Amino acid sequence: MERFFRWVSTVCLAAILLTGVATAQEFKKNVLTGGPSGTYIQIGRDISQIAGECGLTYTINESAGSLENFLGVRNRVNTQFGIVQSDVLEYLRTFSQNDPEIARAIFGVRIAFPLYNEEVHVLARREITSLNDLNGRKVAIGSENSGTFLTSSLVLDLAEVRPAERLTIDATASLAALLDGQIDAFFYVAGAPTKLFQTDEIDSSRFHLLPLTDSTLRAVYVESEIPAGTYPFQQEKVDLVAVKAVMMTFDYTPQRNAYHRESCKAVSDLVNIVLTNFDRLQTTGHPKWKTVELTDIPPGWDISECVNQGLDPAYALECRPPAVAQQARQSPMESEANAVYRQRICEAMGGC
């Protein structure tokens, strides 16, 4: 992992040096998510769709994953949000104490709200029955600026597994390589069900999901399972581990300049939209919304004042529905369930 730590430090420094300045164009609001077949992008689209009913545009952007998203929130102009794995947060927070570049990279980054647990999928050849069987094999571990890359690296090290080769390619390329016989297995960290595995191309007689039941892994990660039939090739329940996904933002200061003021408003608006439409997201959004607990804030991280503003019951969302959608839009009145969530979040955070 030492080489990985040096790489992250280099990426953090490069991201800081590339920090841009907002231009006087139409104000844009962006959310960094993940690949086109992942759960992150579907979660982002669920939020964006509801925001659009109020005439608010949040552009949902594909990315390589968690580390790119974290650094993007810190350094990219007009990028107010990014979805990040909590073990990436823990890594950055831990090593920032001794690494000035990482400390600078995480400065000002805050929690917007927690999301769901992401399962650690390991799709492998059928003859491979455990992580230990990956010793001496060719394994894809995700692209280098993704959360999958960090998690798979940690999992392999914790399990003391030494593949013959670790390929740093994304999930789509990994699946193609496995189906073509070029690799023996690949890691993909995503909330189940993920679109990548919902295909008939994966032959259940040739491939399966590895169980991850190692006691060391279960001491570090959350115990989880993928129910039988979640994917076309998967007929039995699979026990494994998971890591929480979190929506991150930046601690904008409205008094600083117009860019910070508009970005803070974008954060408050989106937080308010998620909170006041939470029951709707759980009913009509991606199935993972049903497992989201908005009070489950990862330890050691704070929320910003802009988030607090959006949680305030008195917050006035400027909702101007497009004419076509106005009649179909639900009542803007907050439901009783959402009001309860608002109170629980405020209590968990020490007051709003």
Query: Does 256 lie in the same domain as 112?
Result: yes
End residue of a domain, out of 184, 217, 244: 244
206 & 310 share domain: no
Give residue-wise pLDDT tens across range 251-298.
999 999 999 999 999 999 999 999 999 999 999 999 999 999 988 887
Single-letter amino acid code for the residue at 129: T
> How many structural domains comprise the chain?
2
Strand partners, 226: 238
Q: Which two tokens stand for residue 143?
A: 């692209």
At position 36, the amino acid (one-letter code) is P
Q: Where are the beta strands (DSSP E) in 165-213?
A: 165-167, 185-190, 207-209
Both 283 and 305 in one domain: the answer is yes
Q: Which of 244, 279, 306 is the last residue of a domain?
A: 244
Q: Which structure tokens are listed for 63?
A: 């990315």
Structural domain including 207 reads 118-244
- Whether 125 and 208 map to the same domain: the answer is yes
State whether 105 and 128 are in the same domain. Answer: no
Element (H, E) at 247: strand 238-250
- Between strands 185-190 and 109-125, the pairing is antiparallel
CATH number for the domain that contains residue 101: 3.40.190.10
Q: Are residues 313 and 341 in the same domain?
A: yes
285-320 per-position pLDDT tens digit:
999 999 999 888 877 778 889 999 999 999 999 888
The 10s digit of each residue's pLDDT in 80-91 is: 999 999 888 877
Do 96 and 35 belong together in one domain? yes
Q: pTM of the entire structure? A: 0.78
